[in-house]
């Protein structure tokens, strides 16, 4: 049996006279002597419970006076329209129960009268999320996921799961976390890339996966984590331009969905969300280098990966979402398809927000011989890729896809300073708990 009849958000002054049962947390108790107020908080907001000493049952008043902040309480009472109350109503209680008393002192202050550092907040994340502005962010993240899934379903894309425990660090590059797998060593997967490509060979035609990826990199910045949620898509018989269109539609669609369906949460965050217009600007890698020449400082050579300074400069110059396309083949992974007439340039692209990279994708190499060649060029051993390469020998359609970082999408959408703010229980270089 559900212990509440209404959320705070369900009550309005027009509901005056009805009996309600609310359940939530004791946000604040203000005892003025002859009158006392209990502010009850649930996920939708606040409701004021008013106790007039002369009119309320003395036992109820005594209970309320004994409530410690952040205890879980259940309140049964009658709604009364009251212009003096916040939101124009208050609840006159007939019964108040303490379901779970909170200890004091609290590890942080959910009423936000005192600031709190990120580290302290993450140590007591369960209490941090009781703060409406934090909760609102995660509710918006859920809405983003819902919007993305709907976009994928609408496009006839099948949701799949690929293994997170894998045999070997075959992709090269990124460091993987080794784990013990019975009598063998295994690794946590850094990306579903190889698996989604194999599913193209399987004839699944269009797949998406939303799941965790693990990277054992030492990176220690406000935009990197060692465990992240990746939104991966792979489409057969599509080229890089096709999947870029899908990507920009998915991203701007998520903004639109949030702006239309999360008005309360955006209000809590004080955000006026601007939906980015499609199509996003396309800039080739070579054009980006040209643009970056207009700034003082270190000059980039063609073939260098863009450094952080250049990335920031481009973001400031362009000022909105954009695609970086036509990268040098040498700095993109082996599965990225080079242009036939100009093999030093490839069909890889990055989706950029002015603050950082959000996604990267490409048209993939689907020709077995070329793929083996490319693997060798990257100084990797094709033998280690046999489970993957096998799928390319028995009929592999051309295909393209991308991977999008969920937390980076949410972080840039909500203008959060630190990616840790966009993850409920983040995993970084140092944090393994909670």
- Beta bridge partner(s), residue 38: 29, 49
Beta strand segments in 134-256, E? 158-159, 165-166, 178-181, 184-188, 206-214, 227-236
CB of 230 to RNA, least distance (A): 7
Rounded Cα gap, residues 405 and 218, in angstroms? 18
Helix (H) or strand (E) holding 423: none
Q: By the criterion CB under 7 A, which residues form the site for RNA?
A: 28, 30-35, 37, 48, 50, 52-54, 68-69, 82, 84-86, 90, 104-109, 111, 113-120, 171-174, 190-191, 193, 213, 215, 217-222, 224, 230, 305, 307-309, 312, 333-335, 360, 378, 403, 417-418, 430-431
CB of 406 to RNA, least distance (A): 13
CB of 116 to RNA, least distance (A): 4
Q: Which two tokens stand for residue 255?
A: 């903004």
CB of 154 to RNA, least distance (A): 25
- Beta bridge partner(s), residue 233: 208, 402
What burial class does residue 239 get, using C-beta atoms within 10 Å of its C-beta: 0-12 exposed, 13-18 middle, 19+ buried?
A: middle
CB of 15 to RNA, least distance (A): 16
Closer to RNA by CB, 213 or 406: give it.
213
Closer to RNA by CB, 76 or 215: give it.
215
Rounded Cα gap, residues 403 and 371, in angstroms? 20
CB of 190 to RNA, least distance (A): 4
Q: Which residues contact 93 (CB under 8 A, 6 or more apart)?
A: 38, 49, 51, 56, 60, 64, 75, 76, 77
Q: Which residues contact 267 (CB under 8 A, 6 or more apart)?
A: none
Q: Which residues contact 315 (CB under 8 A, 6 or more apart)?
A: 352, 353, 354, 355, 356
CA 288 to chain centroid, in Å, comes to 28
CB of 150 to RNA, least distance (A): 24
Closer to RNA by CB, 264 or 355: give it.
355
Closer to RNA by CB, 154 or 308: give it.
308
CB of 36 to RNA, least distance (A): 8
Rounded Cα gap, residues 365 and 359, in angstroms? 19
Closer to RNA by CB, 233 or 262: give it.
233
Closer to RNA by CB, 89 or 152: give it.
89
Three-class SS of residue 173? coil
Write the DSSP assignment of 41-94 as a string of letters.
EETTEEEEEEEETTTS-HHHHHHHHTPPTT-EEEEEEEEEE-TTSGGGEEEEEE
Rounded Cα gap, residues 96 and 66, in angstroms? 11
Closer to RNA by CB, 52 or 165: give it.
52
Rounded Cα gap, residues 332 and 323, in angstroms? 15
Closer to RNA by CB, 143 or 235: give it.
235
CB of 3 to RNA, least distance (A): 24
CB of 70 to RNA, least distance (A): 9
Rounded Cα gap, residues 177 and 164, in angstroms? 11
What burial class does residue 369 get, using C-beta atoms within 10 Å of its C-beta: 0-12 exposed, 13-18 middle, 19+ buried?
A: exposed
Closer to RNA by CB, 173 or 178: give it.
173
CB of 64 to RNA, least distance (A): 12
Q: First vs last Cα of the chain: how many Å apart?
A: 31
């Amino acid at each position: 049996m559900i212990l509440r009849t209404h959320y705070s958000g369900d009550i309005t002054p027009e509901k005056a006279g009805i009996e309600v049962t609310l359940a939530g947390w004791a946000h604040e108790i203000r005892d003025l002597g002859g009158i006392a107020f209990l502010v009850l908080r649930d996920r939708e907001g606040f409701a004021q419970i008013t106790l007039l000493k002369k009119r309320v049952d003395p036992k109820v008043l005594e209970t309320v006076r004994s409530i410690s902040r952040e205890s879980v309480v259940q309140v049964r009472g009658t709604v009364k329209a009251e212009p003096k109350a916040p939101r124009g109503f208050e609840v006159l209680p007939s019964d108040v129960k303490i379901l779970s008393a909170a200890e004091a002192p609290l590890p942080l202050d959910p009423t936000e009268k005192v600031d709190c550092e990120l580290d302290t907040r993450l140590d007591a994340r369960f209490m941090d999320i009781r703060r409406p502005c934090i909760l609102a962010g995660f509710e918006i993240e859920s809405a983003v996921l819902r919007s993305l899934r709907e976009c994928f379903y609408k496009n006839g894309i099948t949701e799949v799961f690929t293994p997170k425990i894998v045999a070997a660090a075959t992709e090269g590059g990124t460091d993987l976390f080794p784990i013990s797998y019975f009598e063998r060593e295994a690794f946590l997967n850094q990306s579903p890339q190889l698996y989604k490509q194999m599913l193209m060979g399987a004839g699944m035609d269009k797949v998406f996966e939303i799941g965790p990826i693990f990277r054992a990199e030492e990176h220690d910045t406000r935009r990197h984590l060692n465990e992240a949620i990746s939104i991966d898509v792979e489409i057969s018989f599509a080229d890089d331009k096709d999947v870029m269109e899908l990507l920009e539609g998915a991203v701007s669609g998520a903004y639109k969905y949030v702006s239309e369906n999360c008005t309360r949460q955006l209000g809590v965050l004080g955000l006026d969300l601007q939906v980015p217009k499609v199509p996003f600007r396309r800039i080739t890698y070579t054009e980006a280098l040209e643009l970056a020449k207009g700034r003082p400082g270190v000059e980039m050579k063609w073939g260098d990966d863009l450094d952080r300074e250049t990335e920031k400069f481009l973001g400031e110059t362009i000022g909105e979402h954009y695609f970086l396309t036509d990268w040098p083949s040498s700095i993109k992974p082996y599965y990225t398809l080079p242009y036939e007439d100009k093999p030093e340039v490839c069909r890889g692209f990055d989706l950029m927000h002015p603050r950082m990279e959000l996604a990267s994708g490409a048209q993939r190499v689907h020709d077995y011989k070329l793929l083996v060649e490319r693997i060798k060029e990257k100084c990797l051993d094709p033998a280690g890729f046999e489970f993957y390469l096998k799928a390319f020998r028995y009929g592999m359609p051309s295909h393209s896809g991308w991977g999008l970082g969920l937390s980076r999408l949410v972080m840039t959408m909500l203008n959060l300073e630190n990616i840790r703010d966009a993850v409920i229980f983040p995993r970084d270089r140092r944090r393994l708990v909670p």
